[in-house]
């Protein structure tokens, strides 16, 4: 088992504690991830041996809120946990599977006594839930969030935001859901794949990494120009022309 020498998380684990949990028990506070980023992580995680993967996860604890009757809600690192679950489902050098995989978590708060509306109101006021779907539509109802971290949907514009940040189109920011704000900025300015306009594919099915090289470069170059333009002023991590 991927063991960090920690207690297994329970509904009574107090705020401030570190524990370990199977990522299949984690519930998301957003409905989408960029699958290009997820696939990049899967490739890297799958190539790590057990010690290297454990060392990586030790220094990347996943923050959670225990609430809504004792469930475990991820408030950051959705890409990490989703990718780790998919890594465990496939072949990997660490020898993990969906039963013995564990992730190290940090309990930000325990509000297990709050349920339903009262729980989600507290989460929304703390800016710990993103009630929009993988097409940027919303707000959606909390009941429309995925039940498990393994069920997240693809938003190619979230992938585009990740790619632009990696190329220093903007800076990493602690602002809540910063990369989704950038994803929505690109969403209304760029069509990633013209097959969408031809009714041949859906946006959720698009992987930027699978596009022809020239097309992929064109999309990223356009996004980089947009990110450095005055139109992006005010977005978290904006760097200005350069």
Q: How confident is the model at residue 242 (pLDDT cuts 50, 70, 90)?
A: confident
- Confidence at residue 16, expressed as pLDDT on a 0 to 100 scale: 98
Q: Which of 106, 126, 153 is the last residue of a domain?
A: 153
Average pLDDT over residues 55-74: 98
Predicted pLDDT of residue 113: 97
Q: 115 and 184 share a domain?
A: no
pLDDT of residue 1: 82
**In this structure, is residue 44 part of a structural domain?**
yes
The predicted-structure confidence for 185-195, as pLDDT tens digits, reads as follows 999 999 999 99
Question: How much of the chain, in percent, has pLDDT values that exceed 90?
Answer: 99
Q: Which of 41-45, 65-69, 199-203 is predicted with the least confidence, judged by mean pLDDT?
A: 199-203
The residue among 101, 129, 153 that closes a domain is: 153
DSSP state of 8: B
pLDDT recorded at residue 83: 98
* Size of the chain in residues: 242
Rounded CA-CA distance 144/112 in Å is 20
Q: Are 78 and 152 in contact (CB under 8 A)?
A: yes
Tell whether 55 and 29 lie within a shared domain.
yes
Average confidence score pLDDT of the chain: 97
Amino acid 162: pLDDT: 98
Q: How confident is the model at residue 159 (pLDDT cuts 50, 70, 90)?
A: very high
Residues 133 and 191 in one domain: no
| Mean pLDDT calculated for residue range 78-82 | 98
Task: Report pLDDT digits (tens) over 88-142.
Answer: 999 999 999 999 999 999 999 999 999 999 999 999 999 999 999 999 999 999 9
Tell me the residue range of the domain where 139 lies.
Answer: 18-153
In a domain, 12, yes or no: no
Contact between 72 and 12 (Cβ < 8 Å): no
- Say what the pLDDT of residue 43 is: 98
* Edge-to-edge order in the sheet of strand 103-111: 18-21, 103-111, 62-67, 71-74, 26-27
Q: What is the pLDDT of residues 11-20, one digit of tens each?
A: 999 999 999 9
What gap in Å lies between CA 171 and CA 113, rounded to an integer? 38
Domain identity same for 27 and 96: yes
110 and 187 housed in the same domain: no
Share of the chain above pLDDT 70, in %: 100
Q: Residue 67: phi, psi to the nearest 5? A: -165, -175
Query: Of 126, 153, 180, which one is at a domain's C-terminal end?
Result: 153
Maximum separation of any 2 CA atoms in the chain, in Å:
53
Task: Provide the domain count of the chain.
Answer: 2
Same domain, 114 and 175: no
Angle between the N-to-C axes of helices 178-187 and 213-227, in degrees from 0 to 180, rounded to the nearest 10: 110
180 and 56 in contact (C-beta within 8 Å)?
Answer: no
Q: What is the pTM of this model?
A: 0.96
Is 149 in the same domain as 174? no
């Amino acid at each position: 088992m991927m063991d960090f020498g920690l207690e297994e998380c329970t509904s009574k684990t107090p705020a401030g504690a570190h524990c370990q949990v199977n990522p299949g028990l984690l519930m998301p506070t957003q409905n989408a991830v960029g699958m290009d980023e997820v696939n990049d992580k899967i490739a890297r995680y799958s190539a790590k041996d057990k010690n290297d993967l454990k060392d990586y996860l030790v220094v990347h604890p996943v923050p959670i809120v225990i609430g809504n009757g004792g469930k475990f809600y991820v408030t950051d690192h959705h890409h990490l946990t989703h990718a780790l679950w998919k890594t465990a489902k496939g072949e990997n050098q660490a020898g993990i599977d969906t039963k013995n995989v564990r992730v190290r978590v940090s309990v930000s708060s325990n509000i297990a006594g709050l349920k339903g509306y009262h729980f989600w109101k507290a989460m929304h006021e703390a800016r710990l839930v993103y009630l929009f779907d993988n097409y940027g539509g919303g707000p959606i109802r909390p009941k429309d969030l995925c039940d498990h971290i393994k069920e997240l949907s693809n938003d190619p514009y979230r992938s585009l935001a990740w790619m632009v940040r990696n190329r220093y189109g903007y800076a990493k920011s602690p602002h809540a859901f910063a990369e989704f704000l950038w994803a929505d900025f690109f969403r209304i300015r760029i069509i990633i794949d013209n097959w969408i306009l031809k009714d041949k594919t859906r946006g959720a099915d698009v992987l930027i990494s699978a596009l022809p090289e020239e097309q992929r470069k064109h999309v990223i170059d356009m996004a980089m120009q947009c990110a450095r333009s005055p139109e992006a002023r005010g977005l978290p991590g904006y760097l200005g022309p350069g």
